[in-house]
Amino acid sequence: MKIRLNRYLSECGIASRRKSEEFINEGRVQVNGKVVIDLAFFVDPESDIISLDGEKIKQQKKVYFLLNKPKGYITTTSDDKGRKTVMDLIDTNQKIFPVGRLDYDTTGVLLLTNDGDFTNFLTHPGNKIPREYKVVLSKPLEDEDKQRLLKGINLDRRKSRFESVYYLNKNVREKVTVTTTEGRNHFVKNMFSSLGYFVDKLERTSFGSFNVKGIPIGAYKKLSYIEIKRIYDEYSK
């Protein structure tokens, strides 16, 4: 069965489908020895020879990891400055990549995989998959600002809001839990910053149905296909 070239690259664990399109546009992908720059090009994985930068691509078994990310690691596959990345924490021979990003100092739930379709499913805005965060603020969150975060504020020229905001302890209003379906970089920090709050500590406690309960900081577990199917079933439209 023929599939789009960018989908084939993502399914082989080369990169996300969007990143694979960049490789195609850059003329780095060859099919049967010829460079292809057509994003709508279809290939037959059974008969076509697909290469990236002259190296033949082989289909990989899909793997999924759930990491309890610690501080001090950047969420990339490599770093030209020699800093520690989340890849240093996963023991696998497969070429995997993170699903979305967590900041250098942000901890908690981070998924890594070689399945581009799964990555797109989790991060596509239309699927509205919730992310929950525990936040420690530089000062107590005022009730008025809490309501503004729920109703929506203008951020990056777009109306933006949290799905929920609640205090972990009504007597300690510097500590709150928020839920959002947004995947924009630094979204939680920027939401609070726009109202004059600095985020001292940020932990992602869940992404959809995935959480790191029972997983020590810096450790990970390999997810089963049943667990992956479950989140597709729960959030597919």
- Are residues 123 and 183 in contact, defined by beta-carbon separation less than 8 angstroms? yes
The residues that bridge with 65 in the sheet, in sequence order, are 112, 222
Is the pLDDT score of 50 beyond 80?
yes
Q: Which of 103, 105, 117, 145 is catalytic?
A: 103
- Per-residue pLDDT, averaged over 9-19, amounts to 80
CA 144 to chain centre: 31
Q: Is the dihedral of CA 156, 159, 160, 166 positive or negative?
A: positive
Residue 16: pLDDT band by 50, 70, 90 thresholds? confident
Q: Is the pLDDT confidence value at 23 over 80?
A: yes
99 pLDDT band, cuts 50/70/90, is: very high
115 counts as catalytic: no
82 with 30: CB under 8 angstroms? no
Domain boundaries, the chain: 3-56, 64-125+210-235, 130-207
CATH of 3-56, one of 3.40.50.300, 3.40.190.10, 3.40.50.720, 3.10.290.10: 3.10.290.10
Q: Are 156 and 184 in contact (CB under 8 A)?
A: yes
pTM, rounded to two decimals? 0.80
Domain 64-125+210-235: CATH class, spelled out: alpha beta
Looking at residues 54-59, what average pLDDT do you find? 87
Instruction: Round to whole Å and give the CA distance between 148 and 180.
Output: 14
Task: For 104-131, give one letter per residue: b (16+ CB within 10 A) or e.
Answer: eebbbbbbbbbbbebbbbbbeeebebeb
The crossing angle, in degrees rounded to 10, of helices 17-25 and 116-123 is 120
Sign of CA dihedral 116, 79, 38, 61: negative
Cα-Cα end-to-end distance for the chain: 25
Cα separation, 151 vs 15, whole angstroms? 36
Which pLDDT tens digit goes with each residue over 131-180? 999 999 999 999 999 999 999 999 988 999 999 999 988 889 999 999 99
Q: 137, 176 in Cβ contact below 8 A? A: yes
| pLDDT (mean) for 26-49 | 93
Higher per-residue confidence, 208 vs 80:
208
Out of 9-18, 81-90, 136-145, pick the least confident. Answer: 9-18
CATH of domain 130-207: 3.30.2350.10
- How much is the pLDDT for 217? 97
